[in-house]
Chains A and B, each alone.
Chain A
Amino acid sequence: MSKQALMSREVLLTGAIVLLLAIIASRFPAFITPGNLANVFNDTAPLILLAIGQMIVILTRCIDLSVAANLALTGMVVAMINVAMPALPVPVTILISVAFGALLGMVNGVLVWKLAIPPIVVTLGTMTIFRGSIFLLSDGKWVNAHEFSDPFKAFPRTELLGLPVMSWFAIAAVILFTLVMTRTTLGRAFYAVGGNPHAATYAGIDVGKTQFWAFTISGALAGLTGYLWVSRFAVAFVDLAGGFELNVVAACVIGGVAIMGGIGTVIGAMLGALFLGIISNALPVVDISPFWQLAISGGAIIIAVALNAQANREKGRIILKRAEHAT
Chain B
Amino acid sequence: MTDTIRAIPDRLQSPLERRLKSWETLLFAVAVSIFIVNSFTSPYFLNAWNLSDMTFNFTEKAMIAFAMALLIIAGEIDLSVASIIALASTAMGAAVQVGIGTPGLVAIGLGVGLLCGAFNGVLVTRMGLPSIVVTIGTMSLFRGISYIVLGDQAYRGYPSDFAFFGQGYVFWVISFELVLFALIAVIYFVILHKTNFGRAVYAIGNNPVGAEFSGIRVARVKFILFLLTGLMSGVAAICLTSRLASTRPSIAFGWELEIVTMVVLGGVSILGGSGLIPGVVIAAFVMGLVTFGLGLLNVPGIVMSIVIGALLIGVIALPRLWDKWRS
From B137, B222, B300, B309, A140 is in contact (CB under 8 Å) with B300
Question: Interface residues of B toward A: which range?
Answer: 35 or more
**B interface, over-half SS:** helix
A253→B261 CA distance, assembly (Å): 25
Contact B218 A309 (CB under 8 A): no
Contact A63 B132 (CB under 8 A): yes
Question: Does A203 lie at the interface of the complex (its beta carbon under 8 Å from any beta carbon of B)?
Answer: no
Add 7 more A-B contacts to A291-B148, A298-B143 (CB < 8 A).
A115-B317, A117-B320, A124-B261, A207-B2, A299-B141, A301-B141, A323-B208
Contact B309 A132 (CB under 8 A): yes
Question: Does A40 lie at the interface of the complex (its beta carbon under 8 Å from any beta carbon of B)?
Answer: no
Contact A128 B144 (CB under 8 A): no
A249→B313 CA distance, assembly (Å): 22
Question: Does A259 lie at the interface of the complex (its beta carbon under 8 Å from any beta carbon of B)?
Answer: yes
Question: Does B260 lie at the interface of the complex (its beta carbon under 8 Å from any beta carbon of A)?
Answer: yes
Contact B143 A294 (CB under 8 A): yes
From B132, B209, B306, A324 is in contact (CB under 8 Å) with B209
Residues of chain B having any CB pair with chain A under 8 Å: 1-2, 75, 77, 123, 125, 127-130, 132-134, 136-145, 147-148, 151-152, 208-209, 212-213, 218-219, 222, 249, 257, 260-261, 264, 270-271, 300, 302-303, 305-306, 308-310, 312-313, 316-317, 320-321, 324
- What are some 30 contacts across the A-B interface (CB < 8 A)? A63-B132, A115-B321, A116-B320, A117-B316, A118-B270, A121-B264, A121-B313, A121-B316, A125-B310, A127-B257, A132-B303, A197-B2, A238-B302, A250-B137, A250-B140, A260-B130, A291-B144, A291-B147, A291-B249, A298-B143, A299-B144, A300-B137, A301-B136, A302-B141, A306-B127, A309-B127, A309-B128, A323-B218, A326-B222, A327-B75
Chain B, residue nearest A115 (CB): B320
Chain B, residue nearest A325 (CB): B128
A141→B138 CA distance, assembly (Å): 34
Chain B contacts for A302, CB-based, 8 A? 123, 134, 137-138, 141
Question: Does A9 lie at the interface of the complex (its beta carbon under 8 Å from any beta carbon of B)?
Answer: no
Question: Does A88 lie at the interface of the complex (its beta carbon under 8 Å from any beta carbon of B)?
Answer: no
Contact A320 B271 (CB under 8 A): no
A61→B130 CA distance, assembly (Å): 12
Contact A124 B142 (CB under 8 A): no
Question: Does A295 lie at the interface of the complex (its beta carbon under 8 Å from any beta carbon of B)?
Answer: yes
Contact B212 A322 (CB under 8 A): yes
Contact B308 A128 (CB under 8 A): yes
Number of residues in A with C-beta < 8 Å to the partner? 57
Contact A116 B1 (CB under 8 A): yes
From A118, A250, A300, A326, B125 is in contact (CB under 8 Å) with A326
Contact B137 A126 (CB under 8 A): no
Question: Does A218 lie at the interface of the complex (its beta carbon under 8 Å from any beta carbon of B)?
Answer: no
Give, as a whole number of angstroms, the nearest-CB distance from B116 to chain A: 12
Chain B, residue nearest A211 (CB): B1
Contacts A118-B270, A140-B300, A295-B147; A131 near B305 (Cβ below 8 A): yes
Chain B contacts for A323, CB-based, 8 A? 208-209, 212-213, 218
A190→B158 CA distance, assembly (Å): 54
Contact A295 B148 (CB under 8 A): yes
Chain B contacts for A116, CB-based, 8 A? 1, 320
Chain B contacts for A94, CB-based, 8 A? none
Chain B contacts for A291, CB-based, 8 A? 144, 147-148, 151-152, 249
A116→B4 CA distance, assembly (Å): 12
Contact A124 B144 (CB under 8 A): no
Contact B148 A61 (CB under 8 A): no
Contact A124 B218 (CB under 8 A): no
Chain B contacts for A297, CB-based, 8 A? 140, 144
Contact A118 B313 (CB under 8 A): no
Chain B contacts for A122, CB-based, 8 A? 313
A305→B310 CA distance, assembly (Å): 32
Interface membership of chain A positions 120-146, coded 1 if the CB is closer than 8 angstroms to chain B and 0 otherwise: 111011111101110110001000000
From B136, B144, B300, B302, A294 is in contact (CB under 8 Å) with B144
Interface membership of chain A positions 222-253, coded 1 if the CB is closer than 8 angstroms to chain B and 0 otherwise: 00000000000000001000000010011001
A220→B214 CA distance, assembly (Å): 47
A145→B66 CA distance, assembly (Å): 47
Contact B148 A253 (CB under 8 A): no
Contacts A132-B302, A246-B136; A117 near B212 (Cβ below 8 A): no
Contacts A124-B260, A323-B209; A299 near B1 (Cβ below 8 A): no
Identify which of A132, A197, A259 gathers the most chain B CB atoms within 10 Å of its CB: A132
Identify which of A61, A295, A326 gathers the most chain B CB atoms within 10 Å of its CB: A326
Chain A contacts for B305, CB-based, 8 A? 128, 131-132
Chain A, residue nearest B314 (CB): A125
Question: Does A296 lie at the interface of the complex (its beta carbon under 8 Å from any beta carbon of B)?
Answer: yes
Chain A contacts for B144, CB-based, 8 A? 291-299
Question: Does A205 lie at the interface of the complex (its beta carbon under 8 Å from any beta carbon of B)?
Answer: no
Contacts A117-B316, A291-B147; A326 near B137 (Cβ below 8 A): no
